Amino acid sequence: MFKKILIANRGEIALRVICACKELGIPTVAVYSEADRNSLHVRFADEAVCIGPPRSADSYLNVASIISAAEITGAEAIHPGYGFLAESSYFAGVCEASNLIFIGPRPEVISLMGDKNRARARMRELGLAILPGSEVITSEEEALREAECIGYPVIVKASAGGGGRGMRIVNSAADLPHLLRTAQNEAAASFSTPDVYIEKYVASPRHIEFQVLGDQHGRVVHLGERECTIQRRHQKLVEESPSTQIDAETRERVGHQIVVALQEIGYTGAGTIELLMDERRNLYFLEMNTRIQVEHPVTEMVTSLDLVKHQIRIAAGGHVPFESETIGLRGHSIECRICAEHPVTFAPSAGKITVFHEPGGTGVRVDTAAYAESVIPPYYDSLIAKLIVHGKDRPEAIRRMSRALEMFIIEGISTSIPVQQKIMADLDFQAGNFDTHFLSRFTRNGES
């Protein structure tokens, strides 16, 4: 096992990794920007190193500073969390060249799965269904030809993208040139490449994802699926496991296809295969996230596994000690991402938290780095906390989440709690009848 791990992240995920390391008996090093000097991940790590000013580009994305922090503190491995450098093949390669273990897949696997076009092509070769789509678009004329062949509506997507950036829905040929340029410009600004492709647009989709673990000895397992359909602006707000739309036969069949494909590419570490479900419940590969997900706790709750500990053990050369078939999903779990945002417009709400009271009780978990008098800075993601509940079935989990949301008190800033309370009370949500446009009923001007 590692003698010391540096955590190249901040906030609740940095604190989550610290908790796992403490239970494994591994000392930790936190890195922090000047804006995070008083953060809990700095307090609870064994050592902490300031790596720059508040801007992410000058701190949490500063590869040289992070590598230097690891070297001066004697860390053997780096856990990237999620976001920032977690899916950077360049960073993983620099770690390797610096004799540091990157807790995640090999650089070439990150590179393959991080390029949506290459990933879609490779997964199709390995047996996963994908939506009709194009290669990287090189001209407006090519875009018009491909869209005509696929059939409108289509969606333009950034090849290296995620989180809804570099993405535009196109309903007609007249709209395509302008929306193509907009998507390319946004992709270039967000991901340093303007590459986009075109894909068939499903009007009423659901977002399903499978959690996987792969070790360095050739074993890959899946841990069932999560339902991540409740989104605003392509960002998830509520997640749950299992999905009401996936039966045992589908879980076994699709899970097996995913495991075989990832064994073929030599996948190691934790990861998530994201799938789109159409109105007929057909599942199509969308992309892979080669890291731990924000919503990993719902899988932990229904499997009783610690995914972060398994990530660390795998990176240290350990085996995944079970098969997919031996993992049963126990009960039902729901997660609400509590964000510092206006609950109607979703405008950011940075500032000082004046009152902070976490809910508790049976089946309730809160992952957070926030506290009373802490500050939500304007420089980073708006996530304050992840509220996770577990129940014997979905109705109990919904009731437990409703109760926990009511007892979660955060004052001084606006939060997403009011809209999440409305979601839990909604009869369609309770019945499992929703798609990715569901949230529009609760937002200003119907935007989601």
45-73: pLDDT as tens digits = 999 999 999 999 999 999 999 999 999 99
Residue 344 has what pLDDT? 83
Q: What amino acid positions are annotated as catalytic residues? A: 291
**Percent of the chain predicted with pLDDT > 90:** 92
**For range 197-220, the mean pLDDT:** 96
For the structural domain made of 206-446, what CATH number should be given?
Answer: 3.30.470.20
Decide if pLDDT at 300 tops 60: yes
Among the listed ranges 35-44, 159-168, 405-414, which one has the minimum average pLDDT value? 159-168
**For range 305-330, the mean pLDDT:** 96
* Architecture of the structural domain at 5-103: 3-Layer(aba) Sandwich (3.40)
pLDDT in tens, 333-354: 999 999 999 988 888 999 999 9
**For range 146-157, the mean pLDDT:** 95
pLDDT in tens, 358-387: 999 999 999 999 999 999 999 999 999 999
Decide if pLDDT at 448 tops 70: no
Q: How confident is the model at residue 331 (pLDDT cuts 50, 70, 90)?
A: very high
pLDDT in tens, 100-126: 999 999 999 999 999 988 999 999 999
CATH level 3 topology of 132-200: Dna Ligase; domain 1 (3.30.1490)
Residue 165 has what pLDDT? 85
Residue 117 has what pLDDT? 87
Residue 239 has what pLDDT? 98
Residue 425 has what pLDDT? 97
Q: How confident is the model at residue 444 (pLDDT cuts 50, 70, 90)?
A: low
Q: Return the domain boundaries, the chain.
A: 5-103, 132-200, 206-446
**Closest-CA residue to 301 (of 177, 176, 389, 198):** 389
Q: How confident is the model at residue 445 (pLDDT cuts 50, 70, 90)?
A: very low
Q: How confident is the model at residue 443 (pLDDT cuts 50, 70, 90)?
A: low
What are residue 312's phi and psi, to 5 degrees? Answer: -65, -45
